[in-house]
């Protein structure tokens, strides 16, 4: 049984890597054909995070951010680099990281690290990050691996650092599995359960507004 579970886990993560390695390194590829939602998405994220930062009256500094599942750097370019002094990117597919320089432009000089790694294997440097940003990527982690990832991220935060989670959520009681990209869409209650299990606490949560009807609901969480 243990071998079967190991093989299943390998398939789950291996299939995701195959999928993303086949996706073009452009905005439509990053957003599954919904590139038009990017401005609304970024505006919602800016409004959510600013009050938590010292520049907006909060406690969290804006020196170092980490973009998890960064792709070609859409969030790095449009949200994090305008807000933080330095950004690191961690991304499963090397061809996305290779394309990031051209996409981001001259500000790529402030991207200190481009790390090619799946989040299930990623260990952030202790105490490095003011904000760890996780958007539309955590469905690629199994539940137990997500709890472990949260715990590792907690050690990667500065004293007032936060983890921001922005994900799709199903209205059903159980997870939806997408066999195309090998990912889960979780119920919001399950994510909250996994956050609590990891020892993190929720500081703030908010629904993203302005997305087209027919898409999953999207919520943002700040946790610490």
Query: Do the annotations mark residue 120 as ligand-binding?
Result: yes
Query: Do the annotations mark residue 74 as ligand-binding?
Result: yes
Query: Do the annotations mark residue 36 as ligand-binding?
Result: no
Predicted confidence band of residue 99 (pLDDT cuts 50, 70, 90): very high
Predicted model pTM = 0.95
H or E segment and range at residue 133: strand 129-135
- The string of pLDDT tens digits covering residues 159-186 is 999 999 999 999 989 999 999 999 999 9
| CATH number of residue 17's parent domain | 3.40.50.150
The answer for residues whose C-beta is within 8 angstroms of residue 173's C-beta and 6 or more apart is 187
Q: Domain count for the chain, please give it.
A: 1
The boundaries of the domain holding residue 113 are 2-223
Average confidence (pLDDT) over 38-67: 98
Residue 18 corresponds to which tokens in the numbers above?
């195959």
**CA dist., res. 11 & res. 70, Å (int):** 22
Predicted confidence band of residue 32 (pLDDT cuts 50, 70, 90): confident
């Amino acid at each position: 049984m243990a071998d079967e579970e190991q093989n299943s886990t390998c398939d789950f993560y291996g299939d995701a890597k195959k999928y993303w390695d086949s996706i073009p390194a452009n905005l439509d590829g990053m957003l599954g054909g919904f590139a038009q939602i990017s401005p609304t998405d970024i505006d919602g994220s800016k409004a959510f995070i600013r009050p938590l930062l010292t520049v907006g009256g909060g406690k969290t500094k804006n020196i170092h951010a980490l973009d998890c599942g960064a792709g070609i750097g859409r969030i790095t370019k449009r949200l994090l680099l305008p807000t933080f002094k330095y950004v690191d990117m961690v991304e499963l597919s090397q061809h996305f990281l290779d394309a990031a320089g051209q996409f981001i432009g001259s500000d790529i000089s402030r991207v200190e690290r481009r790390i090619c790694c799946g989040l299930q294997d990623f260990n952030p440097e202790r105490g490095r990050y003011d904000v760890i940003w996780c958007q539309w990527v955590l469905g690629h982690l199994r539940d137990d691996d997500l709890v472990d990832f949260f715990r590792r991220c907690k050690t990667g935060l500065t004293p007032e650092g936060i983890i921001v989670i922005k994900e799709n959520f199903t209205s059903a009681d159980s997870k939806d599995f997408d066999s195309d990209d090998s990912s889960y869409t979780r119920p919001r209650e399950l994510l909250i359960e996994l956050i609590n299990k990891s020892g993190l606490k929720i500081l703030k949560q908010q629904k993203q507004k302005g997305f087209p009807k027919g898409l999953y609901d999207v919520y943002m969480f700040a946790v610490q």
